[in-house]
Amino acid sequence: MSINDLFASTLKPVNLGLDMFADDLRTQGADPVLMDWTPPGGGDPEVISALSRLERPELAEKIDAANQVALDRILSAQPFLEGFGQAIDTVPGMTKKTILHAGPPIEWERMCGPMQGAVTGALVFEGLAKDLSEAAELAGSGEITFSPCHEHQSVGSMAGVTSASMWVHQVTNRTHGNRAFTNLSEQLSKILRFGANDQSVIDRLNWMREVFGPMLSAAMELNTDGIDLRLLLSQALHMGDEAHNRNVAGTTLLIQALTPYIVETDFSTKEKREVFDFVASSDYFSGPTWMVTAKAAMDAANGIENSTVVTAMARNGVDFGIRVSGTGDQWFTGPAQQVVGPMFAGYTPADSGLDMGDSAITETFGIGGFAMAAAPAIVALVGGTVDDAMNYSRTMNEITTGNNSNVTIPALDFMGVPSGIDVRKVMETGILPLINTAIAHKDPGIGMIGAGIVHPPVEAFQQALVALSEKIA
């Protein structure tokens, strides 16, 4: 075919870049194909330079080998629930005047409304303040130690506030020996983790401290084998959960595993009925359990020299932070984003607070938003379509190191969940990790007002990539 013949035929131009070029082609009668493309590193010269250094063959080979080690540690992790204990006796570094919170480090003055509400509620609950006004004064006095849950081998939902006498899961990764912790679910109502702090919230926390936690602890003392959480998680995904915002199956499986031991405890029938009714009040009972499962697996992959695998993603309603294996416990942060999704009746996006919580550890591990194809019913809560859910799981393969054959998605031919987010791939492709999450009201005391989809800020990954290039190259 001659060049003249080519121009006499129908052209199918491909547009790579600004959409305005495609618009111009359409006005001339062409039907262009639009490529979803962004320049590597978002076009930032410093990031592009860092990427180039890390792509040198001798460095890329070292990084790939380190990332395979990180992935192997994630995949071989065997988190077992071994008991429940009070934070003061269990969580490393906890004191009577320590308040753990979600996300990267933050001072009292910078905390968002819901987190401040949760902190003041916890101080009243612990008896450190007689009312919320006194609690706010105490919180700002410098007498209270605020610290991220992640820096204490822990995770916390939404505000993530954990105080000394709260009961927590005790999980051991039996493959690697590390331990992880998280507090108990308050279920879904007016609750502390969304910033509510009135007397009904304090009363519920008191009951959890006096009945719920001790009963779960007594039950697990009778279970000398522990509970294989990786096995339960795998089953939950096969039953339609994604283990972040949909936990119908997971909660059923978890309470089923606990029940034979609960009924053997010395608590009264009335108290046991209260516990079963409380668990049945919401599907979220197992939500924290999958968070701590993921935490136990991801901590095993932290601190591997030359690795660019993300080991934590967490947010506090102001900042979004990530940690990377090759840089250990260092935080890289950017602004917390607004969650986009359906709102409950009576609320608008203007009412919503910014992205908050340690629950993105589930996506860091490969479940939650990364496993939405396993839970098509989740779209009713977070928005979108079933096709969207399927595509989300496929797309996350483009930024991860591999797939977890222990936790699979039936609808995608039993594909293992995408695992091991690689900072390099995020910056090369422009694809940010996808997180599905609840939306808290921006003010304390109101609670959950919707759910939806959110992505981390690109700045966190840019900072991480530059730091990795300086450390590795």
* 174 in the same domain as 96: yes
pLDDT at 20 over 90: no
Q: Compute CA 99 distance to the chain's CA centroid, rounded to the nearest angstrom.
A: 20
* 212 in the same domain as 105: yes
Q: With a threshold of 0.85, does the pTM exceed it? A: yes
Q: For position 262, which CATH number holds?
A: 3.90.1710.10
Residue 18 vs residue 395, higher pLDDT: 395
pLDDT given at position 193: 96
Q: Domain tally for the chain?
A: 3
pLDDT at 21 over 90: no
pLDDT at 36 over 70: no
* 82 in the same domain as 70: no
pLDDT (average), residues 313-325: 98
The model's pLDDT over 401-450, given as tens digits with 9 standing for 90+, comes to 999 999 999 999 999 999 999 999 999 999 999 999 999 999 987 888 99
Residue ranges making up the domain that contains 170: 78-291
pLDDT given at position 33: 72
Residue 198 falls inside a structural domain = yes
Residue labelled with tokens 């990031």: 47
pLDDT band of residue 42 (cuts 50, 70, 90) is confident
- CA dist 140 and 129 (Å) reads 13
Q: Final residue of a domain: which of 238, 267, 291?
A: 291
pLDDT at 178 over 70: yes
pLDDT (average), residues 267-287: 97
- CA dist 274 and 208 (Å) reads 11
* 284 in the same domain as 139: yes
* 361 in the same domain as 256: no
The answer to whether residues 35 and 274 touch, using CB atoms and an 8 Å cutoff, is: no
The model's pLDDT over 362-386, given as tens digits with 9 standing for 90+, comes to 999 999 999 999 999 999 989 999 9
pLDDT given at position 184: 98
pLDDT given at position 240: 97
pLDDT (average), residues 389-393: 95
pLDDT at 225 over 90: yes
pLDDT given at position 19: 65
* 317 in the same domain as 282: no
pLDDT given at position 29: 73
pLDDT at 40 over 90: no
- CA dist 255 and 248 (Å) reads 11
Tell me the percentage of the chain whose pLDDT exceeds 90.
88
The answer to whether residues 12 and 6 touch, using CB atoms and an 8 Å cutoff, is: no
DSSP code of 150?
A: G
Choose the weakest-confidence range: 28-32, 110-114, 220-224, 274-278: 28-32
pLDDT given at position 27: 80
* 266 in the same domain as 344: no
pLDDT given at position 39: 72
Residue 316 falls inside a structural domain = yes
pLDDT at 6 over 60: no
Beta strands at 448-454 and 435-440: parallel, antiparallel or unpaired: antiparallel
pLDDT given at position 2: 62
Residue 406 falls inside a structural domain = yes
The model's pLDDT over 72-115, given as tens digits with 9 standing for 90+, comes to 999 999 999 999 999 999 999 999 999 999 999 999 999 999 99
In which region does residue 357 sit, left (phi positive, over 0), alpha (psi from -120 to 50) or beta (all else)? left
Through-space distance between the first and last CA atoms of the chain, rounded to whole angstroms: 49
* 360 in the same domain as 415: yes
Residue 260 falls inside a structural domain = yes
The answer to whether residues 397 and 373 touch, using CB atoms and an 8 Å cutoff, is: no
Residue 377 falls inside a structural domain = yes
The dihedral sign for the CA sequence 299, 303, 309, 311: positive
* 345 in the same domain as 281: no
Tell me the pLDDT of the chain averaged across its residues: 94
SS3 of the chain: helix, strand, coil, percent, to 5:
50, 20, 35
pLDDT at 130 over 90: yes
Tell me the percentage of the chain whose pLDDT exceeds 70.
94
* 330 in the same domain as 395: yes
* 362 in the same domain as 236: no
pLDDT given at position 267: 98
pLDDT at 329 over 60: yes
pLDDT (average), residues 239-249: 97
**CA dist 155 to 84, 139, 439, Å?**
15, 21, 18
pLDDT at 30 over 90: no
Q: Compute CA 365 distance to the chain's CA centroid, rounded to the nearest angstrom.
A: 8
- CA dist 180 and 324 (Å) reads 18
Cβ of 434: how many Cβ atoms within 10 Å?
A: 21
Cβ of 293: how many Cβ atoms within 10 Å?
A: 32
Q: For position 338, which CATH number holds?
A: 3.90.1700.10
Cβ of 92: how many Cβ atoms within 10 Å?
A: 10
Three-state SS at 79 = strand
Residue 296 falls inside a structural domain = no
* 453 in the same domain as 405: yes
Show the DSSP H helices in 10-56 as ranges: 19-27, 45-54
- CA dist 419 and 402 (Å) reads 6
